Structure 1
Amino acid sequence: MRIDPLISVIIPAYNAERFIHLAVESVLSQSYPPHEIIVIDDGSTDNTREVLKIFEGKVRCLYQENRGPSAARNAGIRVAEGDLISFLDADDLWTSNKLDSQYAYMMAHPEIAMVFSDHEEFNEKGMSLDSYLGTKLKSFAVFPIETGPIENAFEKLVVENFISTPTVMVRKACLEKTGLFDEEIWSVEDRDLWLRISATFPIACIPKKFCKRRFHQGNISRQQELTLQGRVRVLEKNRKLFRYLVPDAAWQSQLAGHYLDLGFLLLQKGRKWEAFQAGIKTLSYGLEGIAEEGLRVRLPVLFQGCGLLGATILGWRMSRYLWKPIKKVFW
């Protein structure tokens, strides 16, 4: 009869021939080895499958048509034999003590459903960038910097996603209760799951850098658009599910800000009608919170939302010209 919980590591991969071997090797080098490593090839068109052959007998490989990272991770979760699940992306790396440290914490704290850690980013030149938590924690002056549970985790996640997927270890039983990744969401899908988990279960943080994430330049503009679209979709979805957990002002403020950013990005791309629609959403969410927070607090986003609408109709220059004297009166 097995007593100690087992760990399953899940790695989704899409056209990952350049880096997948490094990711797998970082798992094989763990001081506390996992029970299994599951790689899901999400319809790669490069030589990812050929590269994975060098790990035959050490890695369990699944193959599917391209359905996105959520579907790939879910496929791995469904077949995983472990009681604890850890995720790693195909181009990222773990330090050798990642699983050991998190496993020890989870065993000592059976009430915790999920633990996450810090990561550092590095670019193609191998240069290390800022730590993830070091950047995200600026939003929370009272956020714990020591190992332990996160108080009001759900409310904090509404404001900012401070959980990096490759740093997570989560109990499979928790996922079976909350549901898996939403396969209809292709960006910010992780934040959606963390919100659902933290709405029901306690989560904890070990603020050590157990992961190294590879930063790709790529198509930054396209990534920004997908991220902003994902943010509003995830927040609107979870507002319907868990509106009672957070004051309405928090939902409204975040959604107004994200729609504003999305609108200006769309306007820069010349997509005026979509930008106009985002501007309407900005004003709608901005106006909702006036009764709770007061007009003065909401003025900045309302002014910027009006500026966005004006720019979609009149153009940038005319919009700025008209709004300058009005801003002087109220600012």
Structure 2
Amino acid sequence: MPRVNIVIPAYNAEAFIADTLRSALNQSFPDLQLTVIDDGSKDATAANAALDDARVRVISQENRGMSRSRNRGMAEVDSEFVALLDADDLWHPEKLRLQLEALQSRPDHDFCYTGFQVWHGEPRPGFFDEPRSGRIDETLSGWIYPRLILDNHALPSSVLWRRSAWDSMGGFVTDNQQTDDWEYLVRASTQHRFVRLAEPFVLYRQHPVSLSRRIPATNTTELMRADLIRRFGLSSPAGHAIDLKALEGFQHRGWCNFADTHCAKGDLGLGLKTFAGLLARGPYRGRTLAKMGKSLVRRWIPKADSPR
């Protein structure tokens, strides 16, 4: 049985999956297995994932979505540690080794996550050659619920954790692919300590079809934040309280950005209605008005350098 099992959900990822798998297979820590869940792809994802390496296992299923695929992958593996890797992201070769060292040095911590870099697919050979020290960011380690509820610092592709923690918590909820991983990690942060490696170990790919680039019809992030606070409170575990002023700022920014996106390039009526709600409730009315004005300018006034 490998010490680490890496679960990789994949849907129509034929262009990226082989490079993603190679970045995991090239880890300096070799005692691992890759479990690819081909989630009903309509392209050559499964074929391109079938690399000539006994550590790669491909499981095909009907399309069920990211979170159900992650749960299926976890149900198929049995190892001391588990990790997630999205089908279009890449890892630094020292990632697993240094994460395992961090967890071994802190047996009362069950999750380890790392810094990451947003990436648009351009060649980055230097990223893989750069040395890493495994330096720990203490400000985002320990009981991180008060920080994670404000901003999801823990990219799923960066997280390694003990299988025992997965077994005790249960799997991902499967309500919304935009927020399911955040819900899982926030829920975990109320029960388990996290340790963060400060350096970037993941290239987080962004491209035109990335899930995170789509304009949502509902503000799933803020609705999930409100639900998490309802469930876990303003201090979890006891004594680790959320900064209420910071929370107010993040909530306002989240709703303002949602309204801005729709006013500028989405559903204008929804954007204006959201801005109106922010102005009625306050605070930050000046910021809200300024944001709304800029949104409408971006929608109605063409850029100076655009074709006429």
Q: TM-score, normalised by structure 1?
A: 0.74
Using the alignment, how far apart are the partners of 1:124 and 1:243 within structure 2? 39
Using the alignment, how far apart are the partners of 2:191 and 2:257 within structure 1? 30
Q: Verify: 1:244 aligned to 2:227, yes or no.
A: no
Partner of 2:304: none
Q: Superposition pairs for residues 312-327 of structure 1, below 5 Å?
A: none
Higher relative contact order (CA 8 A, sep 6+): 2
Q: Superposition pairs for residues 148-297 of structure 1, below 5 Å?
A: 148=138, 150-151=141-142, 153-216=144-207, 218=208, 223=213, 225-226=215-216, 229-245=219-235, 246=242, 248-269=244-265, 271-283=267-279, 286-287=281-282
Partner of 2:102: 105
Instruction: Tell me the amino acid that sits aligned with residue 182 of structure 1.
Output: V
SS in 1 for 2:183: helix
Q: Verify: 1:88 aligned to 2:72, yes or no.
A: no
Report sequence identity in percent: 23
Using the alignment, how far apart are the partners of 2:293 and 2:153 within structure 1? 34
Aligned-residue CA RMSD in angstroms?
Answer: 3.3
Q: Deviations over 1:166-206 (max 9, x none)?
A: 11111222223333222112114322222111122111111
Instruction: Tell me the amino acid that sits aligned with residue 114 of structure 1.
Output: F
Partner of 2:285: 302
Aligned length: 284
Q: Deviations over 1:123-154 (max 9, x none)?
A: 33315899xxxxxxxxxxxxxx7454625521
Structure 1 or 2, whichever has the larger Rg, is: 1
Using the alignment, how far apart are the partners of 2:78 and 2:170 within structure 1? 17
Using the alignment, how far apart are the partners of 1:238 and 1:37 within structure 2? 31
Using the alignment, how far apart are the partners of 2:56 and 2:29 within structure 1? 16
Q: Structure 1's 34 and 153: CA in aligned 2 closer, same or farther, altered over 3 A? A: same
Give the 4+ runs in structure 1 shifted more than 4 A.
127-130, 219-222, 247-250, 304-312
| Structure 1 gap ranges (5+) | 131-144, 288-297, 318-331
Instruction: Tell me the amino acid that sits aligned with residue 278 of structure 2.
Output: T
Partner of 2:301: none
Pairwise CA distance, 1:18: 1.4
Answer yes or no: is the 8 Å Cα contact 1:11–1:87 preserved in 2.
Answer: yes
